[in-house]
Amino acid sequence: MLFVCGLIVTHTASAQVKLGVVGGMNVSKVSYKDIQGTADSKTGWYIGPKAEFTIPIIGLGIDMAAEYSQRKLNANGENTTFKSIEVPINLRYQLGISLAKVYVMTGPQFGFQLGNSNWKNAAQDFELKKSNISWNVGAGVQLLSHLELGVGYNFALTKYAKALGVGNDASFKANTWQVQVAYLF
């Protein structure tokens, strides 16, 4: 048992740290609570620095980023673009050889709204929340220990905006599909 603990501590001390850049496309869809309306999926994008910490033999690690995101939303036929800083912190498990590794990941994402705090829509006025929390799940492949291709889904856990003048619970959330490419140095 002491031998196994020693191995874990030794490998933890030799954890690999990689820095890089990540970018991708997001497809968001609004879901309403206590509001009548329609919503279509819209495409946006994101980009930012990324860090990955991995324990080599075990395959466990953490990956995080600070992404500038432009999320496009459609509500009742009107489009708008929300700008935010998104900070995903994902627990990650990968397996394979340095030529190609497959990974799965999950974890929270914290969003911080930039710009206007109100959205005036023909059907409804909204007050945007300054921050939001969502949960990521995803999978992908890492090629040659540097290039990553991945796909994921982002579940909104908190309200993205509150409807003004309707009721206390009238709000919307934005769930998002993401396709990303990352390069690690």
Locate the domains of the chain by residue range. 21-184
Note the pLDDT tens digit of each residue in 112-139: 999 877 776 656 677 778 899 999 999 9
Of 154 and 81, more confident: 154
Report the pLDDT averaged over residues 59-65. Answer: 95
- CATH for 21-184 is 2.40.160.20
pTM above 0.85, yes or no: no
Report the pLDDT averaged over residues 8-25. Answer: 77
pLDDT for the residue 129: 83
Q: CA–CA separation, 49 vs 148, rounded Å? A: 14
